[in-house]
Chains A and B, each alone.
Chain A
């Protein structure tokens, strides 16, 4: 399943913590022209380097759909960054 929500939380000393929720699907829809261009660019690169376009697209989709559940939490002193993909 495609990621639905990316959450980013940044804590910095002496500043208000930042919390960002990114709904993936609407963002992808808004950026769809860029996404199409990126896919086309990737397809051209595959052809240049003799890589199967279908296989590359399939692998790319598998990677994107495997992202939900990823969690990255780094904390040093009073600074912290948390990224979650749901």
Chain B
């Protein structure tokens, strides 16, 4: 309990203010409460709606531009597809990954984990700045 709230409750206990006044003061106190230390923590979840991929490059001396906007809802729906992959297919994919030098067990990847990943995508920005190409991945 913070100090100001305790003072209000003390004043109420001593009969200096009525219960209604105490309620109003606490409500005012909560309104004036400063945001939490990290602004990211208070950012509403699901604010971003789209994943944007922008590429500006020079290919064969011609300017190439790619601009893709994918709804995050589509990613969330796609993630649910992972739950539908038959175990035998995951086993085959694991074997191929191992053969390619990526010892990754796809059966350990749970849909909830993927959903959490998509959920936190709006906090991500990737920028690649090369002499002949510029890539930017972000959420908006």
Contacts and interface: CB of A to CB of B under 8 A. Distances in A.
Nearest to B63: A77
B103 interface: no
Contact of A62 (B49, B70, B77): B77
Contact of B74 (A51, A55, A56, A67): A67
Interface stretch (B16-24, B38-46, B78-86, B128-136): B78-86
B68 interface: yes
B86 A51 contact: yes
A77 B77 contact: no
Interface residues of B, number: 25
B77 to A, nearest CB: 4
Main secondary structure of the interface of A (DSSP, over half): mixed
A41 to B, nearest CB: 15
A14 interface: no
Interface residues of A, number: 22
Interface of B: 49-50, 59, 62-71, 73-74, 76-78, 80-81, 83-84, 86, 88-89
Given A55-B83, A63-B78, A74-B64, 14 more contacts: A49-B88, A51-B86, A59-B77, A63-B77, A65-B77, A66-B74, A66-B76, A69-B49, A70-B70, A70-B71, A76-B62, A76-B64, A77-B62, A77-B64
Interface of A: 49-52, 55-56, 59, 62-63, 65-77
